[in-house]
Structure 1
Amino acid sequence: MASPELSVIIPVHNESANIAPLCARLLPVLNRLTPVWEIIFVDDGSPDDTLALIKVQSLREPRIGAVSFSRNFGKEVAIAAGLDHVRGDAVVIMDADLQHPPEMIEAFVAKWREGYLMVYGQRTDRSDETRVKRGFAHLFYRLFSRFGEISLPEGAGDFRLIDRKGVEVLRTLGEKARFSKGLYAWIGFKSTGVPFVVEDRLHGTTQWSFRKLFRFAFDGIASFSTVPLRVWTYLGTLISICSIATATYFLVSTLLFGTDLPGFPSLIVSLTFFSGVQLLSLGIIGEYVGRIFAEVKRRPLYVVAERVGTAAEVSTSLVQDDPRLRRA
């Protein structure tokens, strides 16, 4: 199979209403850039007719393929599956809801042809978000830059172009708790950002609740930093020093002035406070132990129920050489 110059990965989950409008805008952009391209949709276990509509597009345009999971594995894993199946010299990752403008790919490719191996879309406007959400996003980037192994460019997300060299490195990273934005920064390579404005979602609503976003942020920090573990070492040391100082104070006070009846409220407050500290520290340790447990089981990242079009051809040609595809 001739390798395309440009591949596009599009994770989808219940995006049936967006498939046709997305292809109507994306295909002309790709045709202007190069005659040799491919699109790989990754259906993350959608219960609606998303896959059926992708098959319709694949019949119309054979350069469109799809990988369909047996269940919902999450967007991060869907991106990893897309990277396993694309063949392009440059790979673009984008969402299906048209919040990532397809026309921006032309700017990405221009930067790539200048020599940049990683070109990311950098969001410039968050006016559509609540003040609380904007504040937590800003706090996350500051914490990650302060305590993480690497720094993340603020406003950069999954909408980006990655050179084949970077794709091959990302394919070797089989960790289960995936934080793709961190992995993109971790692999390095010459990078640059292209500012863009997020468009309104064409159909449907976002599936990222505040709880999911908080969990995602914690996964990101835990995957690239051990600071949450070290905090409890420092806190335990501080509490021990305070307890020794308090014990010394009461010893001296008793020797000089005798003893008096201790206060019951202060005793209860102290017990509940330190119990909470212990449980919280155990919870943080448990989070890291849980990640170790998930890794040592060595289960595949995803299970494929069906491959369509070019994705099926890639599977047939590469499955003998790639153990991750064999497991999938």
Structure 2
Amino acid sequence: MKDLSIVIPLLNEAENLPVIHRRLTEVLQPTGLRYEIVFVDDGSTDASFQEIRTLAQHDKAVRGVSLSRNFGHQVALTAGFEHSQGEAIISMDADLQHPPEMLPELYKHFQRGYDVVHAIRKDGEHMSVLKRKTSVWFYRLMNYLSDTHFHPGAADFRLVSRRALQAYLSLPEKDRFNRGLFAWIGFNQVYVPYQETTRHAGKSKYTLKKMVYLALDGIISFSARPLQLSFFAGLFFGCAGLLYALFAIVMYFRGQTIEGWTSILVTVLLMGGVQLVVIGILGEYLARIYRETKNRPLYFVKDATDAVDPVLASPKEL
């Protein structure tokens, strides 16, 4: 058992790996902690895993796991957790936007008895106005829709204790929104601010499409309120349609026909759009139920730097 595990999921980050390893080593070696660095290659197409192998050959603290394909950041993070051996586990990104120099401070809070230490991003000047605004709106929407509180600026840079991690790993769901799951499990939690830095090399792998899907995972995984809102929207437009129908009947018997098709066309399009939105919301919930019922493993391991042969399934499924 190690004192500390650093779990780093990555996708095509070969240029960043030597730099983050050097900075982590400079930070962790003076602490005297027994630590390990667990890199999880989430189906990279560059030389990321070869670089991890090279680092592991020169540093026994480095361990690497290569997944059989790209399963997504949240699943890769889970894979790293399942392969970690530390009493405390810190997750962070490989692009150096999560500063390694913050690790001793996170660990001090663990020593004070906290099970989950969230690093909360302070928006820097390098962040675009659009990203800042969408982040604020997302967390406001999440806190409105969900019974679980989401702290603005929270991401996947956090420390968790072994017992908190075991609680997290006992959750069986396949569509994993980790920042929500760690907020939901409870235990002693604290928030520590940090200043996010610019990416060292490469481009962010979180495209707009992936961020939208992540937001959907967060909303649908932690709230049934969209279904309730769909009901009230249907009720509102149903009542509005009934009133419009009564108005049309009254005007007919008064001999005043309603001229033009614009109002009718707008009404039909509006009602049709609402119906499609409601069907889409129902479809998202049904799709997640379908994925859960198949009970497939979260991921498969293709290769590992450990001396033992890698297993072709997640440890929980064996």
TM-score, normalization by structure 2: 0.94
Tell me the distance in 2 between the aligned counterparts of 1:35 and 1:79.
22
Tell me the distance in 2 between the aligned counterparts of 1:210 and 1:64.
32
SS at match of 2:137: helix
Aligned to 1:287: 284
Match of 2:70 among 69, 72, 79: 72
Aligned length in residues: 318
Answer yes or no: is the 8 Å Cα contact 2:237–2:271 preserved in 1: no
SS at match of 2:2: coil
Are residues 207 and 264 of structure 1, via their aligned partners in 2, closer, same or farther at CA, if it must alter by over 3 Å? same
Shift, 1:73, TM fit: 0.6
Tell me the distance in 2 between the aligned counterparts of 1:166 and 1:51.
29
Aligned to 1:127: 125
Match of 2:181 among 180, 183, 192: 183
Measured on the aligned residues, the alpha-carbon RMSD in Å equals: 1.9
SS at match of 2:270: helix
- What letter corresponds to residue 195 of structure 1 in structure 2? P
Tell me the distance in 2 between the aligned counterparts of 1:261 and 1:246.
11
Aligned to 2:156: 158
Shift, 1:259, TM fit: 4.9
Deviates more, 1:273-282 or 1:25-34: 25-34
- What letter corresponds to residue 295 of structure 1 in structure 2? E
Aligned to 1:237: 235
Answer yes or no: is the 8 Å Cα contact 1:68–1:307 preserved in 2: yes
Match of 1:84 among 82, 85, 90: 82
- What letter corresponds to residue 290 of structure 2 in structure 1? F
Aligned to 2:13: 15
Aligned to 1:34: 32
Shift, 1:168, TM fit: 0.4
- What letter corresponds to residue 236 of structure 2 in structure 1? L
After TM superposition, list the pairs within 5 Å mapping 1:152-301 onto structure 2.
152-255=150-253, 257-260=254-257, 262-301=259-298
Answer yes or no: is the 8 Å Cα contact 2:67–2:300 preserved in 1: yes
Answer yes or no: is the 8 Å Cα contact 2:95–2:200 preserved in 1: yes
- Percent identity at matched positions? 36
SS at match of 1:302: coil
Aligned to 1:53: 51
SS at match of 2:71: coil
| Runs of at least 5 residues in structure 1 that lack an aligned partner in the other structure | none
Shift, 1:262, TM fit: 4.7
SS at match of 2:94: coil
**1:309 and 2:299 aligned:** no
Answer yes or no: is the 8 Å Cα contact 1:62–1:309 preserved in 2: no
Answer yes or no: is the 8 Å Cα contact 1:16–1:48 preserved in 2: yes
Tell me the distance in 2 between the aligned counterparts of 1:261 and 1:254.
8
Tell me the distance in 2 between the aligned counterparts of 1:35 and 1:196.
22
Shift, 1:113, TM fit: 0.6
| Runs of at least 5 residues in structure 2 that lack an aligned partner in the other structure | none
1:210-232 CA deviation, whole Å, 9 max, x = no partner?
22212211211111011111111
1:289-311 CA deviation, whole Å, 9 max, x = no partner?
1111111111110011012127x
Tell me the distance in 1 between the aligned counterparts of 2:126 and 2:4.
31
Tell me the distance in 1 between the aligned counterparts of 2:316 and 2:167.
19
- What letter corresponds to residue 4 of structure 1 in structure 2? K
TM-score, normalization by structure 1: 0.92
Answer yes or no: is the 8 Å Cα contact 2:248–2:258 preserved in 1: no
Answer yes or no: is the 8 Å Cα contact 1:174–1:301 preserved in 2: no
1:211-269 CA deviation, whole Å, 9 max, x = no partner?
221221121111101111111100111122222223333334444x2352553222222
Aligned to 2:112: 114
Tell me the distance in 2 between the aligned counterparts of 1:212 and 1:251.
49
SS at match of 1:152: coil
